[in-house]
Amino acid sequence: MILNYSQPLEVTNLTSWLDSTLRGSLSEFWVLLIEFVIVGALLLAAYAVIALILIYAERKITAFFQARFGPNRVGKWGLLQSVADMIKILLKEIVKINRSDRFLFFAAPFFMIVASMLTFGAIPFGKALHAIDFNIGVLYVTAVSSLGIIGVLLAGWSSNNKYSMIGAMRSGAQFVSYELSAGFALMTIVVLAGTMQFSTMIEGQRYCWNIFNGHISSMIAFVIYLISGHAETNRGPFDLPEAESELTAGYHTEYSGLQFGFYYLAEYLNMFIIASIATTVFLGGYLPIQVKGWVDFNGIMDYIPSYVWFFGKTAVLIFLSLWVRWSFPRLRIDQLLNLEWKYLLPINLVNIVLMVILVLTGLTLTDLLPGIF
């Protein structure tokens, strides 16, 4: 409870208050039900809001990289640009395609959006802002996020369009390869942290983030995770499935209106999810920067609410990903697979072994310098 006094901006206060009030008047079942509904609704809202903010941020940051201003006529500084886009997309006609596989065509966008939603639920946004805390959280996230590829493949298959087909096939090859690397990179940290549960993993990073704890090995894993995460989200330089200059719009060429809106949102959400997993696993999640022994400093850092830390760290990673995206040309499919199978995967395998050695021989930072970390 002392903790709560020092962190007045934390949501924990709100949730525990809500929980106790509800419990005061209702039975266990109703309390849970109401809480579930609230959590679900909040997640959905957060989902939409985050996507809108990300779309706006990307357009703006891109513009700044490209020596221009970006949206600035809708609302102050163009802040309402993506809201306008959403209103339009919602009301846009959904074109029905002749000679397409109707059911699959209709279902594909939902796979995409459901996959990212499911992952979304397992991410710890802050203290007490964590919908599901599995003991195998890392595994769950890896498994569920790879559902999205089904949406892509189905879209490409059912559209009855050759461009979509090529885009989907590229995407399939790309996703399967990079999922390996991403998984391995996370496993490296699981070896270090000794847990798959996000909450435990975060608590373990109070004074030393995983990226520093495993030094060389963690750093490599971090870089590899960023690269392969970037590739999984189909964003440049890995945006082959929707390579604009080659395949018009890739797998979602035939989608219009809201269905396209799903893909559009999911793309940004996936970017967010990758960044937030990286934050959680490598950068201490929602924990503030803390140094052992510096009580005052820690107190000040603690004063900043946990969700601010989380979103701040995620934002940095997203910015990094945008920076990369807007700096490089697109890879070709064989180069892409080369990068994965010739560079990332072997490095990754060696890296896991290295991490195991580090952990077993006590060469991690926490073991080496227990006084500081």
Partner 1 sequence: MELKNVNIKGIPTAEFNDNEYLENYIKELEANGVNVVLSKIDELINWGRSNSVWPLIYATSCCGIEFMATAAAHHDIARFGMEVTRNSPRQADLMIVAGTMVHKMAPLIKRVYDQMAEPKYVVAMGACAISGGPFINSYHVVPGVDQIIPVDVYIPGCPPRPESLFYGLMQLQRKIKVEQFLGNKQR
Partner 2 sequence: MRSIAKYFSGLFIGISSLLKGMSVTWRELWTKKVTQQYPENRDTLVISDRFRCELVMPHDENNEHACTACGICQMNCPNGTIVVTSQMIETEDGKKKKILDTHQWDLGMCTFCNLCVITCPSDAIKFENTYENAVFTRSKLVQKINHEGSKLREKKKEVKPVEAKPVVEAKPVVEKKAVEEVKPEEPKAE
Partner 3 sequence: MRIDQRNKKTFDIYNIMENIKKLILNTVPTAVIEEKQKLTVTVTFDKLHLLAKTLKENAALPFDFLVKLIGVDRGEELGVNYLLCSSTDLSKELVLKTGTTDRENPLLYSITDLFETAQYNEREVFALLGIRFINNPDMRKFFLNADWVGYPLRKDYDANPELNPLSLESVDMIDIAPRITENEKGELVEDTVNIFGEDDYIINIGPQHPSTHGVMHFRTALDGEIVKKIDVHSGYIHRGIEKLSESLTYPQILHFTDRLDYLSANINRHGLCMAVEKAAEIEVPERAQYIRTIMDELNRIDSHLLAWACQTNDLGATTAFIYGMREREIILDIFEKTCGGRLIINQNVVGGVMFDIYNEFQKDVKSFIIYMRDKLKEYDRFFSHNVIALGRMVTIGVLSKEDAINYAVTGPAGRGSGWSCDIRKHIPYALYDKVDFKEIIRTEGDSYARYLNRLDEIEESLHIIEQLIDNVPEGDICAKVKPIIRLPEGEYYSRVEACRGEFGVFIESRGDKFPYRLKFRSPSMALVSAMPLICQNEKVSDFIGIGGSMDYVIPDIDR
Looking at 293, 335, 368, 372, which residue binds partner 3 (CB under 8 A)?
Answer: 335
Alpha-carbon span 53 to 32, nearest angstrom: 31
Residues 6+ away with beta carbon under 8 Å from 352: 184, 187, 188, 191
Torsion sign (Cα): 175, 176, 177, 183: positive
DSSP string over 41-97: HHHHHHHHHHHHHHHHHHHHHHHHHTTS--S-SSSGGGTTHHHHHHHHHHTS--PPP
Other residues' Cβ atoms within 10 Å of the Cβ of residue 349: 11
Q: With binding defined as CB under 8 A, does residue 25 bind partner 3?
A: no
For partner 3, give the closer residue by CB, 111 or 178: 178
Shortest distance, position 166 Cβ to partner 1, whole Å: 14
Shortest distance, position 162 Cβ to partner 1, whole Å: 13
Residues 6+ away with beta carbon under 8 Å from 89: 257, 258, 260, 261, 264
Alpha-carbon span 164 to 58, nearest angstrom: 25
Looking at 16, 21, 66, 135, which residue binds partner 3 (CB under 8 A)?
Answer: 66
76 binds, among partner 3, partner 2, partner 1, none (CB under 5 to 8 A by kind): none
166 binds, among partner 1, partner 3, partner 2, none (CB under 5 to 8 A by kind): partner 3
Looking at 35, 256, 289, 312, which residue binds partner 1 (CB under 8 A)?
Answer: 256
- Considering only residues 179 to 238 of the shown chain, the ones binding partner 3 according to CB under 8 A are 236-237
Tokens of 8: 């007045």
Residues 57-76: x where in contact with partner 1 by CB under 8 A, - otherwise, as a string: --x---x--xxxxxxxxx--
For partner 2, give the closer residue by CB, 294 or 328: 328
Residues that bind partner 2 (CB under 8 A): 64-69, 72, 323-324, 326-328, 343
Shortest distance, position 123 Cβ to partner 3, whole Å: 30
Shortest distance, position 41 Cβ to partner 1, whole Å: 23
Shortest distance, position 283 Cβ to partner 2, whole Å: 20
Q: Which stretch binds partner 3 (CB under 8 A): 27-35, 128-136, 219-227, 328-336?
A: 328-336
Alpha-carbon span 192 to 201, nearest angstrom: 10
Q: With binding defined as CB under 8 A, does residue 98 bind partner 3?
A: no
Alpha-carbon span 225 to 312, nearest angstrom: 19
Looking at 57, 65, 136, 256, which residue binds partner 3 (CB under 8 A)?
Answer: 65
Q: With binding defined as CB under 8 A, does residue 88 bind partner 1?
A: yes
Residues 6+ away with beta carbon under 8 Å from 322: 57, 58, 61, 62, 65
